[in-house]
């Protein structure tokens, strides 16, 4: 069989689900070089694993692999160490080589039908070779109990020569907003290691909680480790905001931290602890108010956001931070200490006589330079202890001759990419983690179908498309980009299952862009490896997202007043099954073969199916069809929220959604201070007697119900007469929602229908933001 025929057969098996294993070379991240061969190496009870003597790290790696394989298969494969020459029917050999081309993390795998040889120069290389072997084996290798006898414990013949593209390959987890047990942290590290990440960024402190025991300052965990309650829903979800009334807290003892550090080391993962300074410090100030610029009182934050109370740059504050970091450095032996530095308002410093006097004394021009001074103090002290700081890209703001951070300081670029590239041009090492690509707390699919998340939209394909080292950068700049990191903030992720759902499979995409040469990345190829990744995660008990398999819907109003709904799936090999009667679609439901034509309002539901099995989650959309659908609509004042919105969304047949931040609401349009005045041209004179309009209520963001809604009609589009006015209450508060207002009236013949939602103009007295500009926002308008 030729190599090309073998490739296509393997691809067919991967897509159809027949054969064992499902996909021939389903390694993520994709190796730097892989030569496919015919045949397979099969592990059996008589397989021998041979390792060189006198290499305890390699022996541990081999023992762990054999233990996992024996546990999953029921075999009793043994290890032979040293120069023994006992032969075996088939053999896996680990061979140490002196080869600089492999570096410290590179490896080779030479797999033939009767033998596998693994070569590496360093233990980390052997470890990553084993991770690739795991991924070449059937996904049942990670089963919790021995698999059924029908599993073929084989790997496809191949030659792999592999080493990472980037030195720093990181995954972050915020445990300050929500706390996660040591058992989950270890599982998180397991998944990092399997996908060849080598760094775990542990975000341990923030406004909402201090999560690491500091023996010299016990109140950090006794007081700062707890908040009295937690916000329910998004920040703008309710007015007033709603809280659960439940105390929340937790922290890691120093013994637990040491245990996690040891565990991570065994997986060749370095942990970088983050201690936030000088902002995001309410948990510190709640415990030790003397480090604030005012007398307080302070309390650990119960909601999310950016708070103006920050650490004050007293000498005693620096002493406190040095004491804390001394204990932290004793626990974390890695080269880096992350000191935060992001989202630091300067209000407290502007109002502090001490800070203003200090700025004069230091000849600092503004508070940004004062933050640079603050960072430089910590930087110098950390350097004196033989370590380096990492800070968010704000640490480069406020440049001053008397407040310089050292060239050793590493910049973590999150506000896009430019901050990191600028720092790299200045000679700083940089880690790229731009929020628009690799923040994994963002929504990854249609917000209306997804669990609660931070906001914004970063699907799997967008994450995969990112390149942390653009090819057009000069080599002198490229050399300062250490690597890339995916960040996971947990404001809205309260459980391990929620974290896993947001992280996987997007973290697999980040692993590939960090490890695989850019020329080897290929989105279609990556998607072909997803089915095996998902089976592997199933066996590992990971609650990942299947959003890649979601059905996407796009509606087009037609000239006859009907609505055409087109369904599409990312996975082109999957069928789409759907319903329009409100029932849940199954593998036996009607198959989608052409666009659906709706002549009346309907709920369309759809799901992806492969080989007679549902593989995705059911997606559901409510569509409106009325005399207004697809007609011409004009607004007297152009809509400006969300930005660049087209007013036609008000009659396009699709209902809107308020999920996410205010600028992320979908299929709605709003105007500020003025009335929302929409005129619909029905194209010909028709008899109507009912108008409905969806109106957004989000008073926490100054989006108020109108004081009244009026319907007026006209035959010529010039002279209108009012047929119905309904008063509404703009002071109505509560949960963010779309209120559908119905206006009925005696039947009337007209061509033009004008709907006016009368804006109150300013937020009324008695409301939290009284006197500020008020918005009116509308959703779908229907006419009957």
621 strand-pairing partners: 604
CA–CA distance, 18 with 152 (Å, rounded to integer): 13
The Cα angle at residue 612 between residues 606 and 618, in degrees rounded to 5: 20
Please give the structure tokens belonging to residue 718. 């010039």
Taking alpha carbons only, the member of 632, 617, 622 closest to residue 574 is 617
Report the largest interatomic distance among the alpha carbons of the chain, rounded to a whole angstrom.
Answer: 101
Distance of CA 781 to the CA centre of its chain: 34
What is the C-alpha R_g of the chain? 30
Beta carbons within 8 Å of 49's beta carbon, 6+ residues apart = 62, 65, 66, 77, 78, 79, 80, 91, 92, 93, 94
Q: Where are the alpha helices (DSSP H) in 417-505?
A: 418-425, 435-438, 460-465, 475-478, 496-503
Which long-range contacts link 249-252 to residues 24+ away (Cβ below 8 Å)?
A: 249/179, 249/209, 249/225, 250/179, 250/209, 250/211, 250/225, 251/179, 251/209, 251/210, 251/211, 251/212, 251/213, 251/221, 251/225, 252/182, 252/204, 252/211, 252/212, 252/213
Please give the structure tokens belonging to residue 521. 């990345």
CA–CA distance, 709 with 781 (Å, rounded to integer): 12
Place of tokens 């997986």: 267
CA–CA distance, 741 with 721 (Å, rounded to integer): 20
- DSSP assigned state of 600: S
- Asked whether the bond before 278 is cis by omega within 30 degrees of 0, the reply is yes
- Residues catalogued as catalytic: 343
Beta carbons within 8 Å of 762's beta carbon, 6+ residues apart = 673, 770, 771, 772, 773, 774
Q: Specify whether the CB–CB gap between 666 and 448 falls below 8 A.
A: yes
CA–CA distance, 104 with 598 (Å, rounded to integer): 61
CA–CA distance, 453 with 490 (Å, rounded to integer): 9
518 C-beta neighbours (distance < 10 Å), count: 12
Taking alpha carbons only, the member of 234, 47, 388 closest to residue 700 is 234
Please give the structure tokens belonging to residue 220. 């950090």
Helix (H, G, I), strand (E, B) or coil at 780: strand
Please give the structure tokens belonging to residue 94. 């680990």
For residue 784, the number of C-alpha atoms closer than 13 Å in the C-beta half-sphere is 13
Q: Which uninterrupted H or E stretch holds 709?
A: strand 708-714
Place of tokens 């999150």: 414
């Amino acid at each position: 069989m030729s190599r090309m025929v073998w490739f296509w057969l393997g691809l067919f098996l991967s897509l159809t689900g027949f054969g064992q294993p499902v996909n021939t070379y389903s390694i993520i991240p994709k190796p730097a070089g892989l030569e496919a061969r015919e045949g397979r190496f099969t592990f059996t009870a008589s397989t021998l694993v041979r390792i060189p003597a006198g290499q305890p790290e390699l022996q541990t790696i081999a023992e762990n692999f054999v233990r996992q394989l024996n546990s999953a298969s029921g075999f009793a494969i043994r290890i032979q160490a040293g120069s023994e020459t006992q032969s075996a029917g088939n053999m896996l050999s680990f061979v140490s080589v002196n080869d600089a081309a492999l570096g410290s993390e590179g490896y080779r795998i030479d797999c033939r039908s009767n033998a596998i040889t693994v070569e590496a120069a360093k233990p980390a290389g052997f470890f990553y070779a084993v991770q690739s072997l795991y991924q070449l084996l059937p996904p049942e290798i990670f089963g919790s109990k021995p698999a059924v006898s029908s599993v073929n414990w084989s790997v496809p013949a191949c030659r792999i020569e592999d080493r990472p593209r980037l030195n720093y390959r990181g995954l972050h987890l915020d445990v300050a907003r929500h706390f996660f047990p040591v058992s989950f942290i270890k599982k998180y590290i397991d998944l990092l290691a399997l996908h060849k990440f080598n760094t775990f960024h542990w975000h341990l402190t923030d406004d909402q909680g201090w999560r690491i025991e500091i023996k010299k300052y016990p109140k950090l965990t006794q007081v700062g480790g707890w908040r009295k309650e937690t916000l329910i829903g998004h920040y703008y979800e309710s007015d007033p905001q709603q809280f659960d009334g439940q105390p929340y807290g937790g922290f890691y003892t120093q013994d637990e931290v040491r245990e996690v550090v040891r565990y991570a080391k065994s997986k060749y993962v370095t942990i970088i602890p983050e201690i936030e300074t000088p902002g995001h410090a309410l948990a510190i100030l709640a415990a030790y108010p003397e480090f604030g610029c005012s007398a307080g009182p302070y309390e650990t934050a119960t909601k999310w956001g950016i708070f103006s109370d920050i650490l004050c740059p007293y000498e005693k504050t620096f002493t406190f931070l040095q004491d804390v970091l001394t204990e932290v450095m004793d626990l974390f032996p890695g080269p880096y200490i992350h000191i935060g530095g992001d989202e630091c308002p300067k209000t407290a410093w502007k109002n502090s006589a001490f800070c203003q006097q200090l700025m004069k004394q230091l000849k600092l021009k503004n508070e940004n330079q004062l933050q640079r001074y603050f960072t430089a103090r910590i930087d110098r002290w950390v350097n004196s202890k033989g370590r380096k700081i990492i800070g968010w890209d704000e640490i480069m703001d406020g440049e001053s001759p008397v407040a310089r951070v050292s060239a050793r300081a590493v910049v973590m670029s999150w506000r896009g990419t430019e901050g990191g590239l600028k720092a790299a041009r200045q000679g700083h090492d940089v880690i790229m983690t731009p929020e628009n690509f690799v923040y994994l707390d963002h929504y990854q699919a249609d917000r209306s179908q997804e669990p609660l998340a931070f906001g914004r939209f970063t699907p799997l394909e967008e994450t995969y498309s990112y390149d942390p080292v653009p090819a057009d950068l000069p080599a002198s700049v490229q050399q300062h980009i250490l690597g890339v990191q995916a960040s996971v903030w947990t404001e809205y992720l309260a459980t391990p299952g929620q974290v896993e759902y947001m992280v996987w499979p997007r973290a697999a995409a980040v692993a590939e862009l960090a490890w695989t040469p850019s020329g080897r990345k290929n989105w279609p190829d990556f998607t072909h490896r997803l089915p095996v990744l998902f089976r592997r995660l199933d066996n590992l008990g990971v609650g990942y997202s299947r959003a890649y398999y979601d059905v996407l819907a796009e509606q087009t109003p037609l000239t006859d007043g009907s609505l055409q709904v087109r369904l599409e799936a990312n996975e082109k090999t999957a069928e789409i099954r759907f319903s329009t009667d409100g029932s849940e679609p199954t593998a036996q439901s009607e198959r989608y073969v052409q666009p659906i034509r709706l002549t009346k309002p309907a709920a369309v539901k759809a799901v992806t199916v492969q080989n007679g099995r549902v593989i995705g989650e059911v997606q559901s959309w409510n569509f409106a069809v009325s005399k207004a659908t697809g007609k011409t609509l004009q607004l007297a004042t152009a809509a400006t929220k969300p930005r660049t919105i087209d007013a036609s969304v008000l009659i396009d047949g699709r209902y809107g959604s308020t999920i996410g931040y205010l600028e992320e609401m979908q299929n709605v349009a709003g105007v500020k201070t003025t009335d929302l005045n929409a005129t619909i041209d029905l194209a010909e004179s028709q008899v109507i007697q009912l108008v409905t309009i969806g109106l957004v209520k989000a008073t926490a963001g100054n989006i108020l119900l109108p004081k009244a809604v009026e319907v007026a009609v006209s035959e010529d589009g010039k002279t209108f007469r009012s047929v119905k006015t309904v008063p509404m209450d703009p002071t109505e508060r509560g949960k963010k929602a779309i209120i559908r207002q119905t206006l009925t009236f005696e039947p009337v013949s007209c061509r033009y229908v004008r709907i006016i939602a009368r804006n109150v103009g300013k937020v009324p007295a008695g409301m939290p933001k009284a006197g500020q500009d008020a918005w009116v926002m509308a959703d779908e308008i229907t006419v009957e």
